[in-house]
Amino acid sequence: MNTGQGAQAIIFLIEEDDETRPLLKENLHRYGYRVIIAIDEEDALERVKGGHLQTDLLLINLVDKSPEETLRVGRRVREQANNDGHIPLVVMAEKYGDELEGTNLNVSGDDWITYLEDAEQLERLLARLLNK
């Protein structure tokens, strides 16, 4: 991890939505993170090819995919990055019922699905996962 004293944590953001991407990037910068962006699964896999991408957390939102499908994509990207598998993966669910809104679900180890109620919820989850 790149979270030593004085170092900014690096988030690898995979966001397909052209309108959401710049807003999310701006918020992540405001929270104090460096951000590397991929616009879709193919772009993300290309960027991690050979294991040269260093990141502290993988944040992913894929349009019109279920949280489970998005989680599978995130795991594939993390595996291709040739890291030790301990990089937290956060899936931002796109469609969900009122009963899930505002919850963060730990689905296994370092894998999370977040059902966002507001930006502060994401900020708190990222800070907790990155021990910030």
Chain segment 74-109, per-residue pLDDT in tens:
999 998 886 666 899 999 988 777 788 888 888 988
Report field, pTM of the whole predicted structure over 0.85: yes
At residue 2 the predicted structure's pLDDT band, cuts being 50, 70 and 90, is low
Query: In angstroms, rounded to a whole number, what is the distance separating the alpha carbons of residues 40 and 62?
Result: 7
Backbone angles phi, psi at 12, to 5 degrees: -95, 110
* Residues 72, 59: Cα–Cα separation, whole Å: 13
Q: Give all domains of the chain, ordered by start, each with its CATH number.
A: 10-129 (3.40.50.2300)
What span, in angstroms and rounded, lies between the C-alpha atoms of 65 and 55?
A: 24
Is-contact 7 13, C-beta < 8 A?
no
